[in-house]
Amino acid sequence: MKKYYLGIDLGSTTSKSVIINEKDEIVGRGITNTRANYKIAADIAREEAIYDARFTLLEEKIGESQGKRPELKKYMEDLKNVFKYGQFKRRMDSLEKMLIQTVENFSHPNKADILEKLKIIIEKIRPQIHHEFIYEMLGTKNQFFRDIVSEKYNGEVSNIGSEFYEPLILAFDKSITPTENEMVSYNFKELVIESIKILDEKYQGLADTQGNNNKEDWYYAELNTTKDNYETLAYTLRQHIEAIADEEIPIANMVGTGYGRALLPFPEDCIKSEILCHAFGAHAVFPNTRTVLDIGGQDTKAIQVDSYGLVTSFHMNDRCAAGCGRYLGYIADEFGLSLNELGPEALSATRETTICSTCTVFAGSEVKELLNNGEERPNILAGLHKAIVQRAMSLIARSGGVKNEFTFTGGVARNQAILKYVKDMVANTYGNLTMNIHTDSIFMGALGAAMFARRNIQVNLPKAQKSEVREPVE
Amino acid sequence: MKSEVKKENSMILQKEMIEGLFNDLANAKANGRKVCYTFVPGNLSELIRTFDMLPVYPEINALQNAMRKKSAAYIKEAEKHAHSEDVCTYVKCDVGMLLKGNIGPTGQKLPEPDVLLLSYTGCFTFMKWFETLKREYPDTTVIMLHTPYQENGKMTPEMTQYMVKQFHEEVIPKMEAVSGIKFDEEKLKKHLELSKESEDWITKIFDTTKHRPSPIDAYFAGVYYIGPINIGFRGTQEAVDYYKALYAEIQERIQLGLGPVTPEGEMSEEKYRLVVEGPPNWTSFREFWKIFYDMGAVIVASSYTKVGGVYDLGWRHNPEKPLESLAEYCMNCYTNLNLPQRVDLLSKCIAEYGADGYVTNSIKSCNSFSAGQLAMMREIEDKLEVPVGFIESDLVDPRYFSYSNIKNRLESYFQMLAQRKMMKELANQPSNT
Ligand code: SF4
């Protein structure tokens, strides 16, 4: 029987999990926002990874019979997206119930009115979310349940009139955490079948011809016209689902890492430092890596690794979270932007404003001062991004500089502006060397943990290395 | 158990010595004894005793206050009086204590100084510190002995002569004037004889970490061991007796195959042997120590236990040349060595005591220790290929000790050590196994 290994990286803002097979290949990834309850965050991330692993198995199976066709890839992507909607919807249903119950428990004189407004809001956001998932691929955009619904909910609350503002926000605040902390189990098979049905409807309503040279349209057109492609696919899929849904995904061993690792109910030797895991993961994907920079939610680490992927030295930021993901979150709040908007806006700057303070406390007042002086927002953001990277660079310098090859990991690596400054500054200071940034960079810690799990933590470490090198993506 | 009783013996001895000193200090004015404030590095204990004065060590008061959780209030008090946030927290703790009535760590009031003796200027802060104290105690005599830095890695005859000249022209005449006692070279020689003896013993004690398991922790317990030799007992029979007793206890531990004693009892398994550079954190001393012993890490040598004098390389006080010997002693403090000398000394410790790793504790408010630490660490890493670790804390300011940050770094460091140790063992295994 095949064996799988699980790595869980419980970060301060996001929890990631990765399932690998016996060849160190990633078969499943799961990610969720970290909650006050680490155990639940870990469980959700793990469940997600298991669903994802089933999709991988499905893809493999279909690949065997259908070959590697682009529209197949598109279909599967679409299917996963709709599947996410299915999951979202179940959690949404339970949030709705919770909201209604919360309001019913209010001792407010206007309770009935509030309830009525609440129902109006729910009726408004339900189709919005449905549409964004099905037609705008919201499920592939790495947003978490809380973020999506609070954005929509708050938007509707502000349309409703100020006298209801407070109680409605209160109801939400009281309901979201318990909903989020509830483990919702899904039946994989049911959910996929349901998703296929939704997809059928979607494709029927789509154009058969390619409009405006749009790549998206092209895929859909291909799917629709080429001999009822999607129908064939859906048919093949249904055949495999039965087997895959019941197939066991036996986890032979698991390792936990990250900020909250000590809180995981794992035996002591199944808990590994995130420094070792990030290095090991990054090295597995890019075997020539000698320096790893990891910027996570809570801290930044500059790590040097040897040819086995073992850490030889590292440096971490000090007590303050300045220069980490948290700092970006704080900046986003300061500007009233979402985290995803920061990078692109910074990239549109015409110049970088000098920001003296990479201190979370001071940066806020510095930013306000600059705005008052008429400085453009993108330029300030560019300055802030640059300051963060400068801080990371001094950590790298402390740890012994950048050695060829350099790999950038962690959640912050998803920010394009950060990426640009990292590339520029590393090249300027250390010359022309190979820089790796992987699309899975946020999963490196979890990958490393899973790889440690496969090596049974201690045993066989050096021997198990070498041959299992995989192709880098990007 | 027999060894337990003996262990306590040296601890009791030390406790009595220190209590005696603080009692003498509390009664100094009543008994007409003169009081000399001075610092641990380059301290001229023997000379102070020759003039029958009592020593006060502001750094020691600061660290003891920190261990008794009193430093935060003192530091705040000093900051209220416009001492900057970034200044060495030993200074602020001391100044705060003075502003709050100069109640020493034992709860007794400390006497005002008759002399401020600055015999070591390895760090500019020392000078500013005594300038501040001079403002608070305007009637005190300031004696300033300039100690040259070992810039080129050695003490030259000219440097020694330069210092001896200062003894003759500045230090001795002023001490005579304050104490009303004439300088007696024979008396000084007798103290130096005893100093030499203590120095022999303490070297032997710190050398016992060659054993596996190491019978002592040369950093966390080491700071207790250096107490008597650093705070005014060097040059006394009491110190010699203390070190003899301590050595005997350690010998017994070795015979029984025991590891170091921690606040929670015997360390069960020695997993890692480390050399540590930099002062410890005093405000969370126990917690800090616990991170190490919980992970089975024992410190086999530390630079901090050498700030009061480096005896490992064979240097001893020499009664035949009393003043030259005092001069050389001042120049031979750890922080007065240049960086290559420090690297050599630490490398020797790593090799001789079979350390698996090297850890730097960088102190936020001490520029003197922190300058060059990273460069030293790199060099040791390159030269000896030992895994190095870096943590940051502060001396006596509890605001700058982050338990979780330090624990996280050390945990990662120990896991990294474990991996590297295993790799090394595998590489050394014969290929047919
Ligand atoms: S050496 Fe460090 S701790 Fe000592 S006085 Fe100077 S700054 Fe303060």
Distance from the alpha carbon of residue A360 to the mean position of ligand 1, in angstroms: 29
pLDDT value at position B391? 93
Q: Is the pTM above the cut of 0.90? A: no
Please check the confidence at residue A217 and state whether its pLDDT lies above 60.
no
- How far B257 CA sits from the closest chain A CA (Å)? 28
ipTM of the complex: 0.80
Q: Do B388 and A313 touch (CB under 8 A)?
A: yes
Q: Which residue has the higher pLDDT, A340 or A402?
A: A402
Q: Do B412 and A311 touch (CB under 8 A)?
A: yes
pLDDT value at position A223? 56
Return mean pLDDT, chain B.
Answer: 92
Reading phi first (left if > 0) and then psi (alpha if -120 to 50, else beta), residue B103 is in: beta
Q: What is the mean pLDDT of residues A417-428?
A: 95
Q: Do A400 and B374 touch (CB under 8 A)?
A: no
- How far B423 CA sits from the closest chain A CA (Å)? 7
Please give the full DSSP string across B122-169, using - where no structure is assigned: SSHHHHHHHHHHHHHSTTSEEEE-----BTTSS--HHHHHHHHHHIII
Q: Strand A435-437 relative to strand A406-409: parallel, antiparallel, unpaired?
A: parallel
pLDDT digits (tens, 9 = 90+) for A337-370: 888 889 999 999 999 988 876 666 677 788 888 8
pLDDT digits (tens, 9 = 90+) for A55-101: 998 888 887 777 777 767 777 888 889 999 999 999 999 999 999 99
Helix (H, G, I), strand (E, B) or coil at B361: strand
Place A228 in a pLDDT band, splitting at 50, 70 and 90. low
Nearest Cα residue in chain B from A457: B419
Distance from the alpha carbon of residue B13 to the mean position of ligand 1, in angstroms: 29
Nearest Cα residue in chain A from B374: A398
Q: What is the mean pLDDT of residues A231-251?
A: 79
Distance from the alpha carbon of residue B280 to the mean position of ligand 1, in angstroms: 13
CB B205 within 8 A of CB B222: no
Please give the share of chain A, as a percent, with pLDDT higher than 70. Answer: 87
Lowest-confidence segment of A398-412, B188-202, B287-301 by average pLDDT: A398-412
Asked whether the bond before B279 is cis by omega within 30 degrees of 0, the reply is no
CB B143 within 8 A of CB B170: yes
Q: What is the mean pLDDT of residues A146-165?
A: 87
pLDDT value at position A269? 79
Reading phi first (left if > 0) and then psi (alpha if -120 to 50, else beta), residue B77 is in: alpha
**CA A82/CA A114 separation, integer angstroms:** 32
- Does the beta carbon of B123 sit less than 6 angstroms from any atom of ligand 1? yes
Nearest Cα residue in chain A from B407: A273
Interface test with B, best of A314, A458, A466 (most B CBs within 10 A): A314
pLDDT value at position B258? 94
Counting Cα atoms < 13 Å in the Cβ hemisphere of A56 gives 17
Q: What is the mean pLDDT of residues A224-244?
A: 70
Distance from the alpha carbon of residue B333 to the mean position of ligand 1, in angstroms: 13
Mutate to test the pocket of ligand 1, among B368, B373, B393, B395 (most ligand atoms within 8 A of CB): B368
Please check the confidence at residue B6 and state whether its pLDDT lies above 60.
no
pLDDT value at position A90? 92
Distance from the alpha carbon of residue A244 to the mean position of ligand 1, in angstroms: 67
pLDDT digits (tens, 9 = 90+) for A176-204: 989 988 888 888 888 988 998 888 887 77
Please check the confidence at residue A470 and state whether its pLDDT lies above 50.
no
- How far B409 CA sits from the closest chain A CA (Å)? 8
Q: What is the mean pLDDT of residues A216-234?
A: 60
Q: Which residue has the higher pLDDT, B386 or B120?
A: B386
pLDDT value at position A242? 78
State residue B221 phi and psi, 5-degree precision: -85, -30
User: How many residues can be counted in chain A?
Assistant: 474
Q: Is A466 on the interface with B (CB under 8 A)?
A: no
pLDDT value at position B387? 93
pLDDT value at position A259? 81
Closest by CA position to B198, among listed B230, B174, B151: B230
Residue nearest to atom 1 of ligand 1 (CA): B368
What is the strand order of the sheet A311-316 is part of? A311-316, A300-305, A291-295, A406-409, A435-437
Tokens of A83: 């599947």
Quote the crossing angle between the two packed helices B403-428 and A274-285, to the nearest 10°.
50
Restricting to B residues 346-385, those with a Cβ less than 8 Å away from any Cβ of A are 374, 378, 381
Helix (H, G, I), strand (E, B) or coil at B259: coil
pLDDT value at position A358? 63
**CA B38/CA B45 separation, integer angstroms:** 9
Lowest-confidence segment of B100-109, B111-120, B194-203, B316-325 by average pLDDT: B100-109
Nearest Cα residue in chain B from A316: B409
Say which of A310, A313, A315 has its CB closest to residue B381: A313
**CA A466/CA A469 separation, integer angstroms:** 7
H or E stretch covering B18 = helix B2-26
- Does the beta carbon of B369 sit less than 6 angstroms from any atom of ligand 1? yes
Restricting to A residues 441-460, those with a Cβ less than 8 Å away from any Cβ of B are 458
pLDDT digits (tens, 9 = 90+) for B199-224: 999 999 999 999 999 999 999 999 99
Tokens of B279: 């002062």
**CA A387/CA A226 separation, integer angstroms:** 52
Q: Do A314 and B416 touch (CB under 8 A)?
A: yes
pLDDT value at position B116? 96
User: How many residues can be counted in chain B?
Assistant: 433
Q: Which residues contact B418 (CB under 8 A, 6 or more apart)?
A: A458, B271
Q: Which residue has the higher pLDDT, B137 or B2?
A: B137
